Structure formats: structure tokens, C-alpha cells
Amino acid sequence: FFVERKYLMYNDFVIVGPAEDPAGIKGLASAAEALRKIQTAQAAFVSRSDQSGTHKKEQRLWEAAGLSPKG
């Protein structure tokens, strides 16, 4: 049983891309807004697509943005 719970580890998720920033997402604080702009710009997006925890989190982010990625 736990008396005092302490966080030991955490994950950060980042979206990286070319310096040209074709979708115009540099500096955005919202993953949902960034994903919407990526899809609107039809910019390339590379996914792990391996059903890992990271991939599942990515899928939840797309869903939270109200989007369904294709490809």
C-alpha cells in the first residue's frame, strides 16, 4: 500500500518537422490545432503505426482534434 505517492517518470510528446514549417505549426501550444493545420496543409506526417503506447497516444490526439488521418 502507498502512503505517499510520488511521480517518478513522465512522457513528453513533441511534433517535429522541417525548418520550412509547411503547415505553419511552429510555436503552437495545442497538439489538436497543430494536427488540424498539418491535415489542412496536406503536409506529410510520419507515424510509427506499430500499435505501441506512443502510437496509441498519437491516435487519441488525432481523435481529440476531431480528425481521422489517412495514409
Where is 55: in which H helix or E strand?
Answer: helix 53-64
Number of Cβ atoms within 10 Å of the Cβ of 38? 22
Rounded mean pLDDT of 24-46? 95
Q: What is the pLDDT of residues 45-63, one digit of tens each?
A: 999 899 999 999 999 999 9
Give just the sign of the alpha carbon dihedral 2, 10, 31, 52.
negative
Q: Which amino acid is at 49?
A: S
Q: Is residue 39 part of a domain?
A: yes
Q: What is the pLDDT of residue 70?
A: 80
Q: Is residue 35 part of a domain?
A: yes
Judge residue 23's burial from the number of C-beta atoms within 10 Å of its C-beta, 0-12 exposed, 13-18 middle, 19 or more buried.
Answer: buried
Q: Domain count for the chain, please give it.
A: 1
Q: Residue 59: give the domain boundaries.
A: 31-64
